[in-house]
Amino acid sequence: MDIKGSAALVTGANRGIGLAFARALLAHGAAKVYAGVRDPESMREPGVTPLRLDVTDEEQVAEAARTADDVSIVINNAGVAGGPALLEGSFDGARREMEVNYFGTWAVSRAFAPVLAANGGGALVTMLSVASWVANRRLPSYAASKSAQWSLTNAFRLALREQGTLVVGVHAGYVDTDLAADIDSPKILAADVAEMTMAALLDDAPEVLVDEVTRRVRAALSGDLETLYADR
């Protein structure tokens, strides 16, 4: 699909991967980029249009769909981490992860599906993770929320096929953002995630496998569990 001249929305656009998505869209010629953020006054990135959007607030999601009714690209990027350890701790953080990562993505995708249809189909992009496919001992509830989000993305791919909407799932390992700041593992750049996603949109590709660990895990899904978890 074409990015040049399009209007797009990025949720969670105030920093990290979301900000990288907004910048990449503008670099590829998008005419308008709505930056979905909880506090529009905090968004000072040149060239973007701040839009109040807490993805867990149904009224704000509905209002965003009415305001940004010109978009042909929607990028579900808003996400949180911070759930409990597997064997101890409050479930409050895990519930928050599901509210934002899963239900928030569902709410935004549902609200903007008719907008995309009215604008020719366009594209619905969801920022997923390699954790969509494998359990994570450090972040078990985050991985569970991403697994649910991956299933949801596939469901939207089926549901929006007839209206001509390209549904793209973006999978990556650890990205150098605030969310992974305390993790001592190799990381990729948010700008690289965004640029590979732009390439997928231009090529009408339904899946982005950003780094080598993601490609390796994706290929191992057809194997046995010992192979999938050999180095974990």
Has 34 been annotated as catalytic? no
Round to whole Å and give the CA distance between 170 and 37.
20
Among 34, 142, 174, 229, the active-site one is 142
**Hey, is 70 helix, strand or coil?**
coil
Residue type, 37: V
For helices 16-27 and 190-203, what crossing angle results, to 10°?
A: 50
Cα distances (Å, whole numbers) of residue 87 to 59, 141, 180, 208: 36, 11, 21, 33
* DSSP class per residue in 162-227: TTT-EEEEEE-S-BSSGGGTT--S--B-HHHHHHHHHHHHHHT-SEEE-SHHHHHHHHHTTS-HHH
Element (H, E) at 123: strand 123-127
Q: Which two tokens stand for residue 32?
A: 């308008």
Residue type, 128: L
Which residues are marked as active site? 142
